[in-house]
Structure 1
Amino acid sequence: MKQAISALVLGLAAFTAHAGGLEALENFVKTAKSGRADFTQVVTAPAREGQTARSKTSSGTFEFSRPSRFRFEYRKPFQQTIVADGQTLWLHDVDLNQVTARRQDQVLGSTPAALIAAAPDLDSLRRDFSLEAAADRDGLQWVQATPKAREGQLNHVRIGFRGNELAVLEILDSFGQRSVMTFNQLQLNAPVAAGAFAFKPPQGADVVRQ
């Protein structure tokens, strides 16, 4: 009987801990209407036979204003800008002098950015993702989001929270490539200038509309 009670208590404790990740995500989506942070991103490709896996590190800044507007500014080692202005998703590769423009409503729904910056509420996320709590790890509470549309390249995303504060975004694609984005100096509900989400292709840039 004591073993059965212990198992029940431990099981309940585990459920409560796991549920914390979903609660943190819900609180974040509800309360974080805007914000900014620095980020570091490490992308690791799957190891080829006889070789070790190779990683690439980049860094930059992130700003958002919910719903549907955000900006990722990659600064090192290469400059790249990703802007969602509410209508169009812009990608500017400085080295290639190329801008790609896509209709935001067609491409944003099942992306990692929708999870942390664009979605207005948890119900809208559940339309595009299956959400489930994951085990606590590295002092963080985790949620796994798996896109319901399986034709894309995204396998799943894991979001790590420290309390109700966004800390880490882990992305695994269908090719086995893993991307880990760590956020630092996060400022929630800080004023963000509207101009941060305006984008105009630089003069002379090659613009590709999809």
Structure 2
Amino acid sequence: MKLKIAIVLLAASAHCAWADGLKSLETFMRDVRSGRASFTQTVTPPPKDGQTARSKQSSGDFAFARPGRFRFDYTKPFAQTIVADGKTLWLYDPDLNQVTQRVQDQALGSTPAALLTSATDLAALRAEFVLENAPDQDGLQWVLARPKALGGQLQSVRVGFAGAQLAVLEIEDSFGQRSHIRFTGLQTNPSLPAATFHFQVPAGADVQKLN
């Protein structure tokens, strides 16, 4: 009986410790400098003409190292690679053998990627986003982030944490499209080779530079 009570008290204290999404975000920003995980992304466009929108799902692997470096390798249903090396944002479509190249600071701004990887602490994050706690849901603690800059494509981001572990990103853009990204198998502070965030343009690829 005492053991059961102790387990209940420990569970309750753990819940209280992480009941605040902003505290979870602050701990994540402070303690996690790099990470890698698998992800599943579900994108749902806004409904049209009263019809239910059809969602599209993709999956792959994600890695990041603060400040400013990350990599998404989509594997299903189609291969695609997105790499930010700290200066340049690269997007590669193997099927088209096409590379899009953009200046990273101009491309990211107040985006979900910036939310996770660009800022080095909560104070820096608050310079770009209005942050507030959102109600607990699905066993996670949530933070709602809205970009301070007006007129961008990003409307809001909800970040879900299991304790101090990043679990979910929910993104809504200005067109009403919603993206749900769930991370699994997150490894925090792994030693990531520098090559992880280096993109080499494939031979013969068509490269487009965008402002």
Contact 1:18-1:136 within 8 A present in 2 as well: no
Aligned to 2:9: none
Partners of 1:118 and 1:61 in 2: how far apart? 19
Check 1:31–1:200 CA distance in 2 against 1; reply closer, same or farther (3 A cut).
same
CA RMSD of aligned residues (A): 1.5
Contact 2:72-2:82 within 8 A present in 1 as well: yes
Aligned to 2:195: 195
Report the TM-score, using the length of structure 1 for normalisation: 0.89
Partners of 1:125 and 1:50 in 2: how far apart? 38
Q: Which amino acid aligns with 1:36?
A: R
Shift of 1:26: 0.8
Shift of 1:94: 1.6
Q: How does 1:71-150 map to 2 (within 5 A)?
A: 71-150=71-150
Partners of 1:103 and 1:205 in 2: how far apart? 19
Contact 2:129-2:147 within 8 A present in 1 as well: yes
Report the TM-score, using the length of structure 2 for normalisation: 0.88
SS of equivalent residue, structure 1 residue 78: coil
SS of equivalent residue, structure 2 residue 47: coil
In the alignment of these two chains, the number of paired residues is 195
Percent identical among aligned pairs is 63
Q: How does 1:1-210 map to 2 (within 5 A)?
A: 20-210=20-210
SS of equivalent residue, structure 1 residue 105: helix
Contact 1:159-1:169 within 8 A present in 2 as well: yes
Partners of 1:171 and 1:50 in 2: how far apart? 22
SS of equivalent residue, structure 2 residue 202: coil
Contact 1:18-1:135 within 8 A present in 2 as well: no
Which ranges of 4 or more aligned residues in structure 1 deviate by more than 2 Å? 16-19
Map Cα deviations across residues 126-169 of structure 1 (whole Å, 9 max, x no partner): 11111111111111000011011121111000000000000000
Q: Which amino acid aligns with 2:63?
A: E
Shift of 1:17: 8.9
Contact 2:70-2:117 within 8 A present in 1 as well: yes
Shift of 1:107: 2.3
